[in-house]
Amino acid sequence: MAAPKDSRGFGVVEWLLLVAVLGLALAVFFPYTVGDKQDRSILICVKNLRELDKAMRLWQLDNQKDTLSAVTLEEIIPYLKEGNPLTCPSEGQYIVTGLTNPPSCTIPGHALVN
């Protein structure tokens, strides 16, 4: 007579199926987490650029300058919310050249869009 089959635990086929399903789930969801991190850094950088632009406008009003005036990053730091220079999350550098140009970042894709 054949011995009764022990039904406890998973067999080889069940384990292979489980690994395949988990691998498929990781393959589907992993790219979204990487893209979210990049999107988040762009959003933070653009938020910082908006803050810099607001600080430039406040500096312009306080110093009674026209739109052709030059301004530096050091001059607008006191007009930022925290009074601290902002940093790009992707380690880019912020550039402020004058009131006619919006502030910019050295990382491609990090830009103010009007």
Tens digits of pLDDT across the chain (114 residues):
555 566 667 788 888 899 899 988 888 877 666 666 678 889 999 999 999 999 999 999 999 998 888 899 899 999 988 767 789 999 999 999 888 889 999 999 888 876
Contacts of residue 91, Cβ cutoff 8 Å, sequence gap at least 6 = 107
CB 52 within 8 A of CB 103: yes
Query: What is the distance between the alpha carbons of residues 23 and 105, in angstroms, rounded to a whole number?
Result: 38
Contacts of residue 76, Cβ cutoff 8 Å, sequence gap at least 6 = 52, 55, 56, 58, 59, 96
